[in-house]
Structure 1
């Protein structure tokens, strides 16, 4: 039940309707209540049995949730990874089991703490530990398998009240609050055995916790009616959306190169009179149009996204074409391409890069993607996966960059991050800490197809804007191309799968949020406290019963 409920407050096959975000407030409660009751409903089955089933309950919940939330892994592997349907299913199952394992660790940790405080006056510690353990688990998934996809807090990206936590705590603060409310509701759900019903004070406490949880959830949901301030804009960028087919080898031989470059040049000039959607596509929002006078100025920036275009930064033809567009438009450019370096051993290294080009056509710098996509841009444990020939032989490892540099464009520093890097808040914030007043995210979400992933990816990028209070110019190959303001609101966008360009208005900000400066301090603290609590429980493990407690009735929640 928790696995199903957890999937509802996230995008499924399109943008997320606001009403579905309410499920995040109680989606965990069935899992938590079940974990807390295992030792109550089956007291005679032994400690190992109870701990084992707690681990398996968490693991099964996590595996089902990841399988449902990330079902697009199957589509990507089958449609674009040259895998058979059977192999794509196997990949999805193994992927879900691996990430679901961390839910199992969460279940085991909660069971250990519950066992350590069993039948004692400190039994409330297990309930207080739930938000700590949950936040620590999300932190562990972000740092060990490095897949912090759709953490619980992302479900509230449109909540004007809860997102006020993000500039202080990152998305983890929202997850912590949601897990706390779920813990309160689990108290009420866990109070169901016949023996406990004879204890009026016990049930009064359970009802109080449940009522408090509902009250907080109700107040929190009111945040969706809070209107975010409209941020002023100071410049206009042209974000090109080429809508190239990721399944084709785009070599652009002969006339095709000339046609594509000419089209790019036309889009780069369209600063004015471009229609746009005043919000997220497919949400029924109003249409808008950029207003321009007769004396319109050139774009402050032209952006080409990460895409399957045959752009190589060492290719003279590419460099000449980009210099020509920049000079013609008198505008700086950020262009997604493949970077190449030659080391001292005369070996070539390739990078997923973004080149920065000055208005006079000079290539002034290049950002090389640092956080690569496993099984997309490199194969982890390649030698151990020797049996997966379909996967390992068709993919060469890309090099990873080493510097989160900023680039001075038009007198303002810009930070650039590429595709998958948008899901790592602690990494994106470093661009703002290094001085970036605007963030540019280039991405190719064509690999996801028409699944939930492009919309999930968009919401995670929106949270990066909130955490750092920065405008984000998000330019994608086939959508969602958008301008996101410092409060995470999509102010302008264009439809997916349309060849075109967005004339995006944006502004600058140099102020640093607490999260920008200090990063993931909250989940790190939760991890330390969780480990300390587990260590304390194991040190005083109650294999022997405290005198006077042997005959006491076992309760699921504190008295």
Structure 2
């Protein structure tokens, strides 16, 4: 016990706590809490950079090992706190008993937390290779590059880029303007850079003079935080709208509402028709549970004809090959003179393997009732839609035995539909979890989509942080591509999001309702839409180059000594 550096563990826990605060915890995020993202990394990074100095008598292996473990612990604690909803999802809906659900959350947190450990380890290696009686500027400059590369790795290897640091500033009208150029990663880079400035205030030597470098870094960092947070007080412009879409929120029970026998089918379809036609109902002029004003008195003559009706991903027994489904949807489209996007289960015959391929899909139907296409979800949810390494997770027997793997879609095409003004416009559709992958969503806009439609079922998360976290990440997709985003959910948050990420309209969660969502089309392409993840890719390359160079310095001490003197 005497060999355990408890200050390291405390720093890891403090960073995990601070990093959880700028994200939704059980409801919408108050804008002021975004401030924590500007300095949340400081305890962890300071602890890692001070370790080689305070423990100079220890071996390099000991120092680097504790750097890895400190970062890993911090990441595991953060993922456990930020994604605590995994426990409820596994326990309530996946059929796991409480101990196994806890185990699932722990394993989930340890797996993803490792990437924080990798960040801390690489930082420690660079520091060890370049330090000269303290911390070199190269180490500090490397921090935002390492952090951005780590987030990029999370998106590409475990494929879980949930609540990246930049999402904390989705309500920051100034900082979010980076997103159309760099994606969310550019915002993360800036936040990590300011964290690095504050770290410099702790780890740089005081030096000579009345205003040494460490104080200058601290003052500059605080000034940037004040300036940056001022962006949360700025109201972005309010783009004009010209179209209306009816977003149906059926509020079905994800655990039981998956079979409509006999009269139940007719009752639900009648309710679908009623909700799709309620174009003059009230709405919230903002996000639910934020005190947004209720708009109740609507001039029905000012509401344009419906350009789209959407039904979300839900437990409804909608099967594309079911004649009853095809007949019912075609009739609804013709009755309302509106095209439709309907969450459904798609199927393809696979005669070679004597089976059907099953997809999480969205059927696209014209106003004449013709089925013109289907979007099949490409990025599936692990343990929700497929089991990775199925044999290795035998202890999750309830999930493994009861859930067959769904098939993966192949195309991110946009779909042409005739709007109420008689013109044809293209829609890009993505389903649920796909909204967290900016580099994938942008491809819909690049393929011609003039508006984005996100259908989702967040009923699996209950009243936790997840629906609000999910909403904020979807909002970033609207900003990156400068597109209106129509977000239709089973039980909330159903909303209309403008190209600047502002929720312009919504309806309360957990109620059967529909939203007459106003929007507009846009065909202009942002730099990020065209080029994708250039910034994080560059950060990843620079990180690998710097890691290779630092490793060489450690392997060849003489080279390391001369390099340290030069630094």
* Pairwise same-fold verdict (TM > 0.5): yes
**1:306 equivalent in structure 2:** 313
SS at 2:392 equivalent = coil
Match of 2:412 among 404, 415, 423: 404
**2:66 equivalent in structure 1:** 53
Equivalent runs, 1:499-538 vs 2, <5 Å: 499-538=512-551
**1:114 equivalent in structure 2:** 127
Match of 2:214 among 206, 210, 217: 206
**2:390 equivalent in structure 1:** 382
- Is 1:322 paired with 2:329? yes
**1:186 equivalent in structure 2:** 199
Q: Alignment RMSD, CA only?
A: 2.0
Q: Hey, what's the Cα distance between the residues in 2 that align with 1:547 and 1:268?
A: 69
Q: Hey, what's the Cα distance between the residues in 2 that align with 1:91 and 1:290?
A: 48
**1:446 equivalent in structure 2:** 459
Equivalent runs, 1:256-271 vs 2, <5 Å: 256-271=264-279
**1:128 equivalent in structure 2:** 141
Q: Hey, what's the Cα distance between the residues in 2 that align with 1:144 and 1:244?
A: 34
Larger CA deviation: 504-513 vs 357-366: 357-366
Q: What 5-or-longer segments of structure 1 have no aligned partner?
A: none
- Is 1:336 paired with 2:343? yes
Equivalent runs, 1:462-481 vs 2, <5 Å: 462-481=475-494
Larger CA deviation: 235-244 vs 357-366: 357-366
C-alpha deviation, 1:202, in angstroms: 11
Larger CA deviation: 82-91 vs 387-396: 387-396
C-alpha deviation, 1:388, in angstroms: 2.9
**2:114 equivalent in structure 1:** 101
C-alpha deviation, 1:537, in angstroms: 1.3
Contact kept in structure 1, 2:135 and 2:203, CA below 8 Å:
no
Match of 2:243 among 208, 222, 235: 235
C-alpha deviation, 1:389, in angstroms: 1.4
SS at 2:547 equivalent = helix
Q: Hey, what's the Cα distance between the residues in 2 that align with 1:469 and 1:546?
A: 49
C-alpha deviation, 1:543, in angstroms: 5.4
Q: Hey, what's the Cα distance between the residues in 2 that align with 1:293 and 1:112?
A: 65
C-alpha deviation, 1:233, in angstroms: 0.5
C-alpha deviation, 1:291, in angstroms: 3.6
Q: Hey, what's the Cα distance between the residues in 2 that align with 1:394 and 1:31?
A: 41
Match of 1:350 among 358, 364, 368: 358
Contact kept in structure 2, 1:29 and 1:189, CA below 8 Å:
no
Equivalent runs, 1:23-102 vs 2, <5 Å: 23-102=36-115
Q: Hey, what's the Cα distance between the residues in 2 that align with 1:151 and 1:61?
A: 15
Contact kept in structure 1, 2:553 and 2:559, CA below 8 Å:
no
SS at 1:267 equivalent = helix
**1:365 equivalent in structure 2:** 373
Match of 2:438 among 397, 400, 425: 425
Q: Hey, what's the Cα distance between the residues in 2 that align with 1:429 and 1:545?
A: 48
- Is 1:152 paired with 2:165? yes
Q: Hey, what's the Cα distance between the residues in 2 that align with 1:374 and 1:48?
A: 35
SS at 2:514 equivalent = strand
Q: Hey, what's the Cα distance between the residues in 1 that align with 2:76 and 2:532?
A: 29
Does the C-alpha gap of structure 1 residues 30 and 503 become closer, same or farther in structure 2, counting only changes over 3 Å? Answer: same
Q: Hey, what's the Cα distance between the residues in 1 that align with 2:182 and 2:112?
A: 24
Q: Deviations over 1:47-87 (max 9, x none)?
A: 11110000001000000000000000001000111010000
C-alpha deviation, 1:122, in angstroms: 8.7
Count of residue pairs the alignment pairs up: 548
Q: Hey, what's the Cα distance between the residues in 2 that align with 1:10 and 1:43?
A: 37
Larger CA deviation: 218-227 vs 157-166: 218-227
**2:28 equivalent in structure 1:** 15
Larger CA deviation: 387-396 vs 468-477: 387-396
Q: Hey, what's the Cα distance between the residues in 2 that align with 1:287 and 1:2?
A: 38
Q: Deviations over 1:347-383 (max 9, x none)?
A: 1011000001111111111000000000000000112
- Is 1:250 paired with 2:263? no
TM-score by length of 2: 0.94
SS at 1:393 equivalent = helix
- Is 1:495 paired with 2:502? no
Q: Deviations over 1:326-345 (max 9, x none)?
A: 11111100000000110232
**2:186 equivalent in structure 1:** 173
Q: Hey, what's the Cα distance between the residues in 1 that align with 2:404 and 2:501?
A: 36
- Is 1:225 paired with 2:233? yes
Contact kept in structure 2, 1:268 and 1:302, CA below 8 Å:
yes
Larger CA deviation: 245-254 vs 138-147: 245-254
Q: What 5-or-longer segments of structure 2 have no aligned partner?
A: 1-13, 419-423
C-alpha deviation, 1:46, in angstroms: 1.2
**2:9 equivalent in structure 1:** none
Contact kept in structure 2, 1:30 and 1:189, CA below 8 Å:
no
Q: Hey, what's the Cα distance between the residues in 1 that align with 2:182 and 2:257?
A: 43
C-alpha deviation, 1:544, in angstroms: 3.1
- Structure 1 runs, 4 residues or longer, greater than 4 Å off: 293-297, 545-549
